Each structure stands twice: as structure tokens, then as C-alpha cells.
């Protein structure tokens, strides 16, 4: 689908020459995210450089009934940034400046296109820390993180992106400019619309600026990787360590993921033994006594039969290498066209939940390789089904969608979420009712109607209007 010359001319007048792209390569590049299910088919890509330009693009979209799709780092995993139906993609690549740092409040005001790692590095330069972290930090953008309320590997201590957003500047679907919360920690003046836009996936409007809170830098981080004989042992290790230590991360991954990462990267095994599952723990060793406590807990877990073998980092380089066993999984399995599920329950329900899910997967996918990993310290599991080499992609995805019903029925049974941190987009949209009630969905649609009455903002994502 191509845009009328008049519309292209008006878009160019708004954002400037060379800021509108319609060539095939650009449409393919900026029209997709990391999902492989939907083919990108946008009509144009626009690159605004200011809040005023974003507003004018939105006003034009309302006038001409154009559909707009926000584009950040395009690292999403639920097709939330895929333009598959002739939409105009609004890329924030050129709105990537850090605007203001306020040391007294430990906060920084940034444009939506700032890359996560860019913010992390800026914080470090100030002697501070931005703790929301994940494998795509080098390319994901803060606007996209806010749109999906991104989590990652430090949630057990630091929480989700939502916990770090002090204020937002947004352009609503109507084209209105709103400054939300004005960067205050305390502001008891009614509805906090900031939290509606966090996790809304661009369906209410576009985040154009954000004020993010920073934290003190963690000190003397130590990493342990422990091999366990079964998944129940992973949960017992978590409970044991949490009784004594304030963990900054608790991750798990399977032996298959370890094998694939080692083959892909050439990094060594953490220890000689191969076990069905592994737990990765991180904590601040602020004293030698805390390191000694960790070793004592490790030995206790071995005595109980919950841990077969393990290793604790002795320096920063070793800690980074141990983290690679977990952090390199997504990149490693990308070549297998994985079908991903990002599901969560409260920690108390994790053992029964994963047992039920594993039984479904074993029954329905007897010939498929399954990679388990996730942020088990906050109840978030990533289930990855790897496509066999000799199976067509369409047949593979069709098979996975059939089994999705069983998986999400189990999610509903345990009162969990069909999307813990990847957002809903298009891939999870048919299953939102397993987590949200009909009444909730009706209220969500009503909110959408208020902010975006003409449905120009990322239509077809999250909700069907």
C-alpha cells in the first residue's frame, strides 16, 4: 500500500527533507521488530526530531485517517511495533538526546529514542545506576521500554521500568500534548495518567520524553551459578538464599540452553558437571561476611541435594562470563526461529505451574526442542520452542498456536499473565482474556476511546477496537 503524493508531501513538510522514507529496504527495516510471524508492510517511515513534529504527524493522521505505528529499537517480541497493514511508522531514532540531569533528585530527562545502554552509561558517568537491564539493552529504546513496561534481569530487587519513570511528556492519539506527573515523587492530585501510558504499547499516544530516576551504583557484585538436579530444587535454592541475602538477580536456565550457548559462543562450562537446570544468583558482597554467608548457603544446598555443583565469581571478568550463560541465550537461539512464550505467576505457584506447563509441552511437542529460561526470582518464565530445520515456518507457528490454548488455560488456572514483560502486540492479543476479565477489557477499550477516538495509534495491537 502506497501513500497518496499529497500525504507524502505533507509528511515531508512536517519532518523535513530526507526524513520520510518509502524505499523497500527502509520499509522492511523499520516496519518490523524481532518477531518473525508477520511480514512488515508499512506505507512510509517518518523520523521526527521534535515534540512539535510528532504532534503535527498525529494531527495529520487524525485528519487523513492514517494509522501510526511507533518504532524504537525494534527489539520487541510480540509484534507490537510491526507495521503489517500499510501503516505509517513513526521512528524515534532521531529523538535520542539526554536533555537534562538533576543531581539533587537523581533524575535525568531524556527523549524517547535514547537507547537503554546509553542511559545506563550516562548514569555510570554520574556515579549512579540505571538498573533496568536485559539482553537487548544495546539497541532497545526507552520509549519502547516504557511502552511494554520492560523488566529484565534485575526485577527481583529493582522492579520494572514503571518503577523508574518519574514523569512523561506524551502526544495523545487526539494530538494533545500532556506533561504527566511533572517529575515528582509525591503528587496526590488525582489520576496519574503516567501509569496508563506505561505498558500501553503506543495505543493511547506516543511518549516523546521521559524523566527517569537513577539509583546508587551496586558495589562488589558476586555471581553464583549453581547446577540443580530438577526444577523444584531451583525454587528451594531461591528460598534459601533469600532468607540471608538481598539478591539483585535470580535467573534460571536449562541444560539445553547451556549447550547451545557454549556451542555458539565458545565460552567454557561454569563447572564440569552437566545438570538439568541452573540457577544464577547475584548479590552485593558488601563485606567478607556476606561472601562467607553465600558460601555457607551454597554448601547447605549441596547437603540437601538441591545443588550438584556450583561456582562463585572472584572478579568482575568472571562475573561477566557467568552472566553470558544466561544473557546470550536469546541471541543464540534466534537462528532456530523460536516460538516464544513469556508467562508469569506469583512465586508461590511457580513449581506447580511449571510442572503443568512442562507436561503439556512434553505431550504436544515430543519432537521439538524446548529451551527454558527466565527471571524465576519474580515468577517470570520464558518458554522457547525451537523450529526443526525440516519444518516450514508457517507449519511450525500453526502448531505452536494450537498448543497455546493449553498453555494459556494453565496460565489462567494459576491466575497468571500471558505476557510478563514482552507486551501483547499482535501475537498475544488473542489471549488477553486469559489474564484480563471481560469487564477489564471493556474498560481498557473505553480508555483507548478517550485518548485515541479515531484509532490512529498503533491500531490492531493489544486490543481490537
CB 194 within 8 Å of CB 181: yes
Domain tally, the chain: 4
Q: Indicate the average pLDDT of the chain.
A: 95
384-410 per-position pLDDT tens digit: 999 999 999 889 989 888 888 999 999
pLDDT bucket at 365, cuts 50 / 70 / 90: confident
CB 268 within 8 Å of CB 207: no
Question: In this structure, are 108 and 203 located in the same domain?
Answer: yes
Query: Residue 462 falls within a domain, yes or no?
Result: no
Q: What is the pLDDT of residue 135?
A: 86
pLDDT bucket at 37, cuts 50 / 70 / 90: confident
Does the predicted TM-score (pTM) go above 0.85? yes
- Alpha carbon separation from 324 to 77, 111, 134, 258, 270 (Å, rounded): 20, 30, 12, 10, 11
Among 200, 216, 232, the domain boundary falls at 216
Mean pLDDT of 106-112: 98
Give me the residue label for grid cell 572472584. 314
Q: What is the pLDDT of residue 402?
A: 86
Question: In this structure, are 14 and 77 located in the same domain?
Answer: yes
Among 273, 308, 330, the domain boundary falls at 330
Question: In this structure, are 107 and 178 located in the same domain?
Answer: yes
CB 40 within 8 Å of CB 31: yes
Judged on CB neighbours under 10 Å (0-12, 13-18, 19+), 374 is: buried
Q: What is the DSSP letter of 269?
A: P
Q: What is the pLDDT of residue 35?
A: 86
Cell of 318: 568472571
Element of type H or E holding 107 = strand 107-111
Here the CATH number for the domain that contains residue 131 is 3.30.465.10
Question: In this structure, are 226 and 198 located in the same domain?
Answer: no
Query: Residue 454 falls within a domain, yes or no?
Result: no
Question: In this structure, are 166 and 129 located in the same domain?
Answer: yes
Question: In this structure, are 180 and 286 located in the same domain?
Answer: no
Mean pLDDT of 294-318: 96
Give me the residue label for grid cell 535470580. 250
Q: What is the pLDDT of residue 297?
A: 97
Whether the per-residue pLDDT at 464 is higher than 80: the answer is yes
Among 179, 197, 216, the domain boundary falls at 216
CB 243 within 8 Å of CB 283: no
Whether the per-residue pLDDT at 1 is higher than 90: the answer is no
Here the CATH number for the domain that contains residue 393 is 3.30.70.2740
Whether the per-residue pLDDT at 36 is higher than 90: the answer is no
Q: What is the pLDDT of residue 273?
A: 92
Whether the per-residue pLDDT at 436 is higher than 80: the answer is yes
Mean pLDDT of 104-129: 98
Question: In this structure, are 226 and 211 located in the same domain?
Answer: no
CB 39 within 8 Å of CB 84: yes
Mean pLDDT of 311-338: 93
138-161 per-position pLDDT tens digit: 999 999 999 999 999 999 999 999
Question: In this structure, are 366 and 402 located in the same domain?
Answer: yes
List of E strands, 173-246 = 177-180, 205-213, 215-216, 221-228
CA 340 to chain centre: 12
What is the span of the domain harbouring residue 142? 98-216
Question: In this structure, are 381 and 359 located in the same domain?
Answer: yes
CA triple 243-249-254, angle to 5 deg: 105
Mean pLDDT of 445-451: 98
283-298 per-position pLDDT tens digit: 999 999 999 999 999 9
Amino acid at each position: 500500500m502506497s501513500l497518496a503524493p499529497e500525504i507524502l508531501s505533507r509528511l515531508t513538510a512536517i519532518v523535513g527533507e530526507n526524513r520520510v522514507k518509502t524505499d523497500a529496504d527502509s520499509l522492511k527495516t523499520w516496519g518490523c521488530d524481532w518477531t518473525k510471524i508477520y511480514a512488515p508492510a508499512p506505507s512510509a517511515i517518518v523520523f521526527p526530531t521534535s515534540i512539535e513534529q510528532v504532534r503535527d504527524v498525529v494531527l495529520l493522521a487524525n485528519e487523513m485517517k492514517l494509522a501510526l505505528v511507533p518504532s524504537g529499537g525494534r527489539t520487541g517480541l510480540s509484534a507490537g511495533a510491526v507495521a503489517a497493514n500499510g501503516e505509517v511508522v513513526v521512528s524515534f531514532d532521531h529523538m535520542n538526546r539526554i536533555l537534562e540531569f538533576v543531581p539533587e533528585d537523581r533524575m535525568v530527562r531524556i527523549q524517547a529514542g535514547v537507547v537503554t545502554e546509553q542511559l545506563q552509561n550516562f548514569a555510570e558517568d554520574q556515579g549512579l545506576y540505571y538498573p533496568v537491564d536485559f539482553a537487548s539493552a544495546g539497541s532497545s529504546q526507552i520509549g519502547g521500554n516504557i511502552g511494554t513496561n520492560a523488566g529484565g534481569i534485575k526485577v527481583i530487587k529493582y522492579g520494572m521500568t514503571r518503577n523508574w519513570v518519574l514523569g512523561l511528556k506524551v502526544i495523545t492519539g487526539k494530538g494533545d500534548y500532556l506533561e504527566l506527573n511533572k517529575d515528582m515523587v509525591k503528587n496526590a492530585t488525582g489520576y496519574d495518567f503516567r501509569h496508563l501510558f506505561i505498558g500501553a504499547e503506543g495505543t493511547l499516544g506516543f511518549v516523546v520524553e521521559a524523566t527517569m530516576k537513577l539509583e546508587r551504583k551496586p558495589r562488589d557484585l558476586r555471581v553464583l551459578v549453581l547446577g540443580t538436579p530438577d526444577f523444584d530444587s531451583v525454587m528451594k535454592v531461591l528460598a534459601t538464599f533469600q532468607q540471608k541475602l538481598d539478591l539483585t538477580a535470580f535467573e534460571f536456565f536449562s541444560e539445553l540452553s547451556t549447550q547451545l550457548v557454549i556451542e555458539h559462543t565458545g565460552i567454557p562450562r561454569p563447572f564440569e558437571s552437566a545438570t538439568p537446570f541452573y540457577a544464577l544468583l547475584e548479590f552485593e558482597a558488601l563485606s567478607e561476611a556476606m561472601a562467607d554467608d553465600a558460601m555457607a548457603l551454597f554448601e547447605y544446598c549441596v547437603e540437601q541435594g538441591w545443588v550438584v555443583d556450583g561456582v562463585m565469581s572472584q572478579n568482575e571478568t568472571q562475573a561477566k562470563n557467568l552472566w553470558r550463560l544466561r544473557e546470550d541465550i536469546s541471541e543464540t537461539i534466534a537462528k532456530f526461529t523460536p516460538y516464544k512464550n513469556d508467562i508469569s505467576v506469583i512465586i508461590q505457584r511457580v513449581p506447580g505451574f511449571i510442572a503443568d506447563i512442562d507436561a503439556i509441552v512434553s505431550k504436544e511437542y515430543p519432537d521439538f526442542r524446548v529451551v527454558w529460561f527466565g527471571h524465576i526470582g519474580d515468577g517470570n518464565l520464558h518458554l522457547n520452542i525451537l523450529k526443526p530445520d525440516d519444518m516450514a515456518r508457517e507449519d511450525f507457528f500453526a502448531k505452536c498456536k494450537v498448543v497455546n490454548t493449553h498453555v494459556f488455560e494453565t496460565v489462567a488456572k494459576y491466575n497468571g499473565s500471558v505476557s510478563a514483560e514482552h507486551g501483547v502486540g499482535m501475537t498475544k492479543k488473542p489471549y488477553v482474556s486469559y489474564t484480563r476479565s471481560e469487564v477489564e477489557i471493556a474498560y481498557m477499550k473505553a480508555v483507548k476511546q478517550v485518548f485515541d477516538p479515531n484509532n490512529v495509534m498503533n491500531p490492531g495491537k493489544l486490543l481490537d477496537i
